[in-house]
Structure 1
Amino acid sequence: MRLYHGSNIVIDSINLAMCRPYKDFGQGFYLTDIEEQAEKMATRVSKIYGGFPVVNIYEIDDDFRELSDLRIKDFGAHTTEEWAKFIMNNRNRTFTDEKSLLCNRDNKYDIVIGPVADDNMALLFRQYENEIIDFSTLLKGMIYRKTSSQYSFHTEKSIKLLRKVVD
């Protein structure tokens, strides 16, 4: 399977310490199986931080989900209540229950797979956190959002599964 990472630099060696915290699935290295999505992210990142759009390509064995020593959380392709709570907990800087299965601040999962929470969903999350909307309204708002996929790698063990594709 091919996975893509949009950036403004070529990444030859993945350094988890350089990854930002408070992301959808926790601090980790994020990729997608949709090349166009990575291209858009590369353009966005280069506009924010400078440089030029770069799509880094990696391969991972198709059967990686079957490895018994990996802890994988797979939300599937659709947004759910569990997915929404997981993302809100990881993004919330004041969330403290790191032992919760609905949080990955402690990297209890080596890899997390699921939909991307886009900017519109981020707005819904903020409205919910500020008590402007209730949880059922949040869920209804998510149903109509077009989502895309992300694979996040959180441990050195999971990073070692990725092989850089050199053109």
Structure 2
Amino acid sequence: MRLYHGSNTGINSINLAMCRPYKDFGIGFYLTDIREQAEKMAVRVAKIYGGSPVLNVFDIQDDFRELPGIKIKDFGEQTTEEWARFVMNNRNHSFDNIEDILCNQDNKYDIVIGPVADDNMALLFRQYENEIIDFQTLLKGMVYKKTSSQYSFHTEKSIRLLRKVED
């Protein structure tokens, strides 16, 4: 399976210590199986941080979900209540129940797969957290949002499954 990471730099060696915390699925290295999505992210990152857009390409064996010893949380392609709570818990700087199965701040999952919470979705999350809308309104708002795919790798053993593809 081919995965893509858009950046402003070539990445030959993945360093989890360089990854930012409080992302959708926790601190980790994020990729997508949608080339165009990664290309757009590369352009965005280059505009923000400088440099030129770079598409980093990786392969992972097709049956990685069946590998023993790899804990995977797969939300599928659709936004759900479980996915929303998971993303909100991981993004929340003051969330402290990290043992919760709907949180990956402790890297209990080696790999997490699911939709991307785009900027519109992030606005819904903020409105909910600020008690402007209730959870049911949040869920209704998520139904019509177009989502895209992300695969996040959170542990060294999951990173070792990725093989850089030379362009």
Q: Determine the structure 2 residue equivalent to 1:18.
A: 18
Q: How many residues align?
A: 167
Name the counterpart of 1:81.
81
- Aligned residue for 2:30, secondary structure, equals strand
Equivalent-residue separation in structure 2 for 1:112 and 1:128 (angstroms): 24
CA root-mean-square deviation: 0.3
Superposed displacement of residue 5, structure 1: 0.1
1:141-156 equivalences under 5 Å are 141-156=141-156
Aligned to 1:29: 29
Q: Which amino acid is 1:164 matched to?
A: K
- Equivalent in the alignment of 1:65: 65
- Measure the CA separation in 2 of the matches of 1:86 and 1:69: 22
Q: Compute the displacement of 1:58 (Å).
A: 0.1
Q: Tell me, which stretches of 5 or more residues in structure 2 are unaligned?
A: none
Query: Residue 45 of structure 1 aligns with which residue?
Result: 45
Deviations 1:112-136 (A, max 9, x none): 0000000000000000000000000
Deviations 1:83-117 (A, max 9, x none): 00000000000000000000000000000000000
Which contiguous aligned blocks of 4+ residues in structure 1 show a shift greater than 3 angstroms?
Answer: none
TM-score, normalised to structure 2, is: 1.00
Aligned partners of 1:139 and 1:57: how far apart in 2? Answer: 34
Cα separation, 2, equivalents of 1:8 and 1:103? 29
Report the equivalent of 1:2: 2
Percent of pairs with identical residues: 79
What is the CA-CA distance between 1:68 and the residue it aligns to?
1.6
Counterpart in the other structure of 1:134 = 134
| Structure-2 separation of matches of 1:19 and 1:43 | 19
CA distance in 2, matches of 1:68, 1:142: 34
- CA distance, structure 2, for counterparts of residue 70 and residue 129 of structure 1: 32
**In the TM superposition, what is the alpha-carbon distance from 1:26 to its structure 2 partner?**
0.1
Q: Which amino acid aligns with 1:106?
A: D
Q: CA deviation at 1:140?
A: 0.4
